[in-house]
Amino acid sequence: MAEMTAEKFAQRAFDCDLVDAHQLEAIWGELGSRDVPLNQFTGLMVRRELLTNFQVDRLLDGKRDGYYYGNYKVLYMVGAGTFARVYRALQRDTRRDRAVKVLRKRYADDSVTTEQFLREARMVMPLRHPNIVPVYEVLEEHRRPFMVMDFIEGQNLRDFIKVRKHLDLEVSLRLLADMLAGLHYAVGKGVTHRDMKLSNVLISSHGRAKLVDFGLAAISADMSEEAIAAAPNPRSIDYAGLERITGVRKNDKRSDIYFSGCILYHMLSGRSPLFETRDRIKRLSVARFRDVTPLGQLVPGLPGYVIAFCNRAMDLRPERRFQSPGEMLEELNHIMKRLQAGDMGTPVAAHDEAVSEEVADDGLTAQDTPLEREGENRTVMLVESSIAMQDAIREALKRRGYRVLVFSSPSRALQRFHDHIETEPLADGVIFSAGELGDEAIEAFNVLGEADATRHVPAILLVDRRNKDQIRRARTSEHRILLPLGLKIRQLRSSLYQLLQQRAPTES
């Protein structure tokens, strides 16, 4: 092979349309001769920003393509995944930096994958939101599909955490809020993400989270294990595994909720909640989703209501998760306000111990047939942020015939109650718990009792008997009472039953 000289290299760069004759003449003039070492020539080309090191290496390797995609001049590669490579590129007419994502050749030769890449990328093009990386064009050139996106100065969340090991609570919640805002907007446009993972969250130089790669997870839970295992995208296997276990259809927005919870868990703890394995069949196992180390064990000192929030997002029962990104974002905003106010909640260990005392067994098991069904045809609203407390109280009341509506946000509970008050009351009575919700539960209890439309609704406020200030501020009446946190469930049932029985005649 003939030795590569500076002149031969310059000709190759010219033939590939990377430099023009005027630029080359300027370089030769600056060097004072064409008989210069190759590395001297290439070094000057890079310093003058006429070529990048990426382009120099390709030219030296004899590559004749991959320098342009449409109107975009490739500068260098910024990332590579299973499906595609991403390049930083310069738009020739506007001179703007863009990110160009090119489907790998092995998949570009597959007409089904190519069509899916183009179709799903076009589906994302209408999305315009501060927390979603916009897609400007989706094209195909020389049988190589590619999409053109905004170039984000920064790094993905996976690399962000790798450097920092884990993120503090405030940063984690703020980034999650950005992600949920993007998801909420996309759901409103009929688009779910289907590939929520650390590397699909970009962190800008301003510290904002932006989502990429909507809709590119291509497999479903209905496929055989062998077909799922052979699928190219590992994260789509995780989605399929989750949906097989939980029995939901593909594109259920609650799957994005689950993996958003996983991202929060990873940001706070520095590790994935799902054990990592290269065995794709094992990625589908039930144990992988069930055997999750409690977040509180990994991150001591987290407020109990933050752990409850993460647990709810990752609940394997879809009906008990947040039902939409908007609902999860609303609860997250409530949590961030509590933190900003300095409310760190109950320590996790004490909280866990209190749960068993507060909902002590009333002598029934799930299989027992109770002698009396005092809750028959009655609906109770429970306002409580602790997942464990929600589950225990709900199950105990359901076994006595009650229908139980659970809300973790007092403001949302009141809004729902008032939305229905003119037609048919949403519930016959309300139980507020101030254990984690604190002053918000007190305020909601008082608001319910002050409004003309709801002042006759029976209500119970569970409050720490040691918190004299909360007890003083709670406005009670004959059918609006306080009960201490730590009571037996049978005491709660008895008080609830008496209140419902003596409900004011105007509300019968």
C-alpha dihedral, 23 to 26 to 28 to 30, nearest 10°: -140
Q: Are residues 321 and 210 in the same domain?
A: yes
Mean pLDDT of the region 331-358? 66
Q: Are residues 322 and 409 in the same domain?
A: no
- Return d(Cα 177, Cα 189) in angstroms, integer: 19
Residue whose structure tokens are 């183009």? 118
The answer as to whether 156 is a domain residue is no
- Does 460 score more than 90 pLDDT? yes
**Of 295, 321, 345, which one is at a domain's C-terminal end?**
345
> What is the CATH classification number for the domain harbouring 144?
3.30.200.20
The answer as to whether 155 is a domain residue is no
Higher pLDDT among residues 172 and 505, named by residue: 172
- Return d(Cα 326, Cα 335) in angstroms, integer: 14
Nearest-CA neighbor of 260 among 352, 131, 134?
A: 131
Q: Are residues 99 and 246 in the same domain?
A: no
The answer as to whether 424 is a domain residue is yes
Number of domains in the chain: 4
**What letter represents residue 117's amino acid?**
F
Weakest-pLDDT range from 278-282, 297-301, 412-416, 454-458? 278-282
- Does 423 score more than 80 pLDDT? no
- Does 413 score more than 80 pLDDT? yes
Q: Are residues 364 and 341 in the same domain?
A: no
- Return d(Cα 377, Cα 453) in angstroms, integer: 22
- Does 235 score more than 90 pLDDT? no
Predicted local confidence at residue 241, as pLDDT: 82
Predicted local confidence at residue 164, as pLDDT: 93
Mean pLDDT of the region 30-44? 92
The answer as to whether 1 is a domain residue is no
> What is the CATH classification number for the domain harbouring 389?
3.40.50.2300
- Does 319 score more than 80 pLDDT? yes
What's the pLDDT band for 421 if we cut at 50, 70, 90?
A: low
Q: Are residues 269 and 185 in the same domain?
A: yes
Q: For residue 210, give the 3-state DSSP assignment.
A: strand
**Of 150, 184, 206, which one is at a domain's C-terminal end?**
150
Mean pLDDT of the region 201-221? 77
- Does 217 score more than 80 pLDDT? no
Q: Are residues 354 and 495 in the same domain?
A: yes
The answer as to whether 499 is a domain residue is yes
Q: Are residues 56 and 77 in the same domain?
A: no
Joined together, the tokens standing for residue 345 give 């909640």
- Does 66 score more than 90 pLDDT? no
Q: Are residues 44 and 82 in the same domain?
A: no
pLDDT digit string, tens, across residues 443-453: 999 999 988 88
Cβ neighbourhood burial of 253 (10 Å; 0-12, 13-18, 19+): buried
Cβ neighbourhood burial of 240 (10 Å; 0-12, 13-18, 19+): buried
For 222: left if phi > 0, alpha if psi spans -120 to 50, otherwise beta; the answer is alpha
- Does 243 score more than 80 pLDDT? yes
> What is the CATH classification number for the domain harbouring 332?
1.10.510.10
Higher pLDDT among residues 231 and 277, named by residue: 277
Predicted local confidence at residue 212, as pLDDT: 92
Nearest-CA neighbor of 495 among 507, 487, 504?
A: 487
- Does 218 score more than 50 pLDDT? no
The answer as to whether 200 is a domain residue is yes
Q: Are residues 384 and 276 in the same domain?
A: no
Rg of the chain taking only CA atoms, in angstroms: 30
- Does 38 score more than 50 pLDDT? yes
Helix axes 304-313, 387-398, angle to 10 degrees: 70
Q: Residue 364 belongs to what domain range?
A: 350-507
Q: Are residues 379 and 487 in the same domain?
A: yes
User: Residues 445, 448, 450, CA angle at the centre, nearest 5°?
Assistant: 110
pLDDT digit string, tens, across residues 271-289: 999 987 766 677 777 888 8
Average pLDDT of the chain is 84
Distances (CA, A) of 332 to 135, 142, 145, 147: 28, 46, 38, 33
The answer as to whether 459 is a domain residue is yes
**Of 150, 175, 191, which one is at a domain's C-terminal end?**
150
- Does 370 score more than 70 pLDDT? no
The answer as to whether 131 is a domain residue is yes
Q: Are residues 466 and 503 in the same domain?
A: yes
What's the pLDDT band for 356 if we cut at 50, 70, 90?
A: very low
Q: Are residues 335 and 358 in the same domain?
A: no
Q: Are 265 and 273 in contact (CB under 8 A)?
A: yes
C-alpha dihedral, 198 to 199 to 205 to 207, nearest 10°: -10
